[in-house]
Amino acid sequence: MSHIPEFPELLRLAETKLTQRLGGSTRVQFIRGYDEEIQTIIHAIDKKKFREELRYTLLEIEQRMMKPGFLCLLVYLDDEPIAFEYGYDVSEGVYFSDSQAALIEGKGVGTTQFALEILYLYKKGYKQITLSTEELDDQGRTLRSFWERMGFSVTNRDAGGNVDMMMELSPETAYYQYERYIKPR
C-alpha cells in the first residue's frame, strides 16, 4: 500500500479533479460549528434536492450544527455552492454522516466530497463512520448500493426501506478512498 498525502495536498487534488470534471473553478470549504450563512446555503440546496418529508428546517440544521464534532464540507463551482456534506460525533471516534446533496450529479462531486471527508476523519483518528439512508430514493436509485461502493456495509434495515450503514476506518479503507476518488489518473 502506498502513501496517502497529507490533508492539504488531498484537498488540492480533490479541487483540481473537480475543476477538470466540471469545467470551472472549484473550491472545497470546511466548516466546523455553527455558521448562519452556511446554514442558509445548506437549507437552499436541501430544498432543491430533497422531497419535502426529507428536508430539514433551518432550526433542525442549526441543531445539527451545534452538535459536538460538527463538520460540513461545501463545494463551490465558480464561487456558487453546489454541494454539501455534513455530520457530527456520536461517540468517541464515531462520526455520523447526517446529510449530503449535490446539485450536479454524475460528475463525481458527491463521491469526491465524501472521500475527502472520509480521509479527513481518518487522519483525525476517527475509527468509524455511520449513516442512515433509504434503500431506494424517490427516483428509484439504489442508495444502499451507492454507499456499498463507497465501502459501507449494512448494519440494520427496517420495514420502511431505511438502512443503517457503517464503515470502519483503517489504513486500507482510507487508501481505497484515496486511490479510487482523489488520486490523479
Joined together, the cell numbers standing for residue 130 give 455511520
H-helix segments, the chain: 7-22, 36-49, 58-65, 109-123, 143-150, 171-177
Report the relative pairing of strands 94-102 and 128-134 from DSSP bridges.
parallel
On whether residue 25 sits in a domain, the answer given is yes
Domain count for the chain, please give it: 1
- SS3 category, 57: coil
Tell me the pLDDT tens digit for each residue of 121-152: 999 999 999 999 988 777 777 888 889 999 99
Range of the structural domain that residue 32 is part of: 7-182
Interval 104-131 mean pLDDT: 95
Domain assignment present for residue 46? The answer is yes
27 assigned to some structural domain: yes
- CATH number of the domain where residue 68 is located: 3.40.630.30
Indicate the pTM of the whole model: 0.92
pLDDT in tens, 146-181: 899 999 999 999 988 889 999 999 999 999 999 999
Within a domain: 1: no
At residue 54, the pLDDT reads 77
Percent above pLDDT 90 for the chain: 83
Asked whether residue 44 carries a pLDDT value surpassing 60, the answer given is yes
Query: In a 3-state reduction of DSSP, which class is residue 79?
Result: coil
- Checking if the pLDDT of 1 tops 70, the result is no
Domain presence at residue 137: yes
The answer as to whether 2 is a domain residue is no
